[in-house]
Amino acid sequence: MDTNPRRYLVRMFVFLLSVGVIATLLAAPLIAAFMGNPALNGVILGAFGVGVLYVIRQTLRLMPERNWLLAVKTTGKLDPPERRPVLLATVYAMLADSRHDAQISALSLRSVLDGVAARLDEGREISRYMIGLLVFLGLLGTFWGLLQTIGAVGNVVGSIDTNSNNFEAMMGQLRVGLDAPLSGMATAFSSSLFGLAGSLVLGFLDLQLGQAMGRFFNELEDWLSAFARFNDSNPSSAIGQSAIASGMSEEAARAVLSLSKSISDGEDNRARLLEQVSHLSTTMAKLNEAMADDRRIRDHLAQLNVNILQLSDDLRADRSRQTDIMASEIRGLSSSIAALVSSKNHPGKER
């Protein structure tokens, strides 16, 4: 919110000061015109003063709203509930709604801005009425003065004695009788003067108020447009836009968006699951191949174990045979050695 409403207040006060200077310079004729009908002119000036104060008050009401919005933009946090804004109540409700994500739909944005615009226009209704009231009071005084003038002229004309030969007396009577019509004309023209002048001044002040509110609203719209979601390329957004375009409420459209997002997430999860199942199938196939290779290795190891056992039995049998042969040879050798020893010990026997 770059524009400060104080600049429009400065314009108002400068314009009112200029009007006051002009009224001071024309004080004598204005006082004379005011005295034409003090009651009616006093009501007109009183309505003018109320209108001026109201316009200034409505302009000052923009200050806390602007400060609140600047605080939200700067800190990114909402004020406590007791300090919530008045003109920006719909904006506060939107920002305080935790169901909204970082973006809002165009329909929600339009609804929020319409609420703010309605409150701003409502604040100008009384000032517009006061402008029309000043014109109405001026016209009312004009017609009232004309009625007085017409009635007084009728009375003057009716009171003139046309049969009198005293011309001076008749002119004096006419002069005295014209005071009432002139008083009526003073009422008519003075009320129109103050009413139209007051409406012009109040109209300029209302114009400044309208510019201040218009600039405030435009800058608010520019800021909220950053949160708006108009067109997206994803299917869920297309579903949400079609739901909103078909007249569905915002809550229903949000539910449709949530459902479509869930469906899209489910499709993504299913695709990832299928991919994982495919990887698992490939892994199982490789595992089966590895198990078949392991089975063949176990079969070869079993055959090798059988061969080793057979070889061990053959080696054991050969060792037993060799042992028996060696034992028989050793026994034969022992017998030969024993016979040789015996022949040497008994030589006579041998002869």
Sign of the alpha-carbon torsion through 341, 344, 347, 350: positive
At residue 334, the pLDDT reads: 78
Task: Look at residues 45, 61, 44, 8 and name the one whose alpha carbon lies nearest to residue 204.
Answer: 8
pLDDT at 234 > cutoff 80:
no
| Stretch (H or E) spanning 229 | strand 228-229
- 182 falls in which pLDDT band (50, 70, 90)? low
The stretch 32-44 carries a mean pLDDT of 85
User: What are the boundaries of each domain within the chain?
Assistant: 6-230
Identify which has the larger pLDDT, 15 or 344. Answer: 15
Average pLDDT over residues 113-121: 82
User: Which has the minimum average pLDDT: 59-68, 175-184, 233-242, 251-260?
Assistant: 233-242
**152 alpha-carbon distance from chain centroid:** 67
Question: What pLDDT does 77 receive?
Answer: 67
Q: Which stretch of 12-26, 146-160, 261-275, 332-346 has the lowest confidence by average pLDDT?
A: 146-160
Does residue 111 have a pLDDT over 80? no
Check residue 90 and give its pLDDT: 73
Residues 69 and 83: their CA atoms lie apart, in Å, by 12
Q: What is the mean pLDDT of residues 27-34?
A: 86
Task: Go through 242-272 and write b for each residue having 16 or more CB atoms within 10 A of its CB, e for each that does not.
Answer: ebbeeebeeeebbebbeebbeeeeeeeeeee
Closest listed residue to residue 107, CA positions, set 255, 287, 249: 249
The region of weakest confidence among 111-120, 127-136, 149-158, 265-274 is 149-158
The band of 233, judged by pLDDT with boundaries at 50, 70 and 90, is: very low
Whether the per-residue pLDDT at 174 is higher than 70: the answer is: no
Confidence check: pLDDT of 232 > 90: no
With residue 122 as reference, give the H or E element that holds it: helix 106-159
Q: Is the pLDDT at 161 greater than 50, yes or no?
A: yes
Residue with more model confidence, 278 or 229: 278
Q: For 176-197, what is the mean pLDDT? A: 71
CA pair distance 65, 52, nearest whole angstrom: 21
As a whole number, mean pLDDT of residues 100-117 equals 69
Report pLDDT digits (tens) over 315-347.
888 888 888 888 787 877 777 787 777 777 766
Place of tokens 């909103």: 244
> Which of 14, 112, 8 has the alpha carbon at shortest distance from 69?
112
Per residue in 94-103, pLDDT (tens digit) is 777 644 454 5
Position 33, amino acid: A
Sorting pLDDT into bands at 50, 70 and 90, what band is 239? very low
What angle separates helix 6-25 from helix 179-224, to the nearest 10 degrees?
170
| Cβ 221 vs Cβ 113: under 8 Å | yes
Residue 201: predicted pLDDT = 93
Element (H, E) at 50: helix 38-60
First to last CA, the chain: 153
Q: Are the C-beta atoms of 172 and 218 separated by less than 8 Å?
A: no
The answer to whether 17 touches 201, Cβ cutoff 8 Å, is: no
Amino acid at the residue 22: I
- What does the pLDDT read at residue 237? 46
| 224: confidence class by pLDDT, cuts 50, 70, 90 | confident
pTM: 0.58
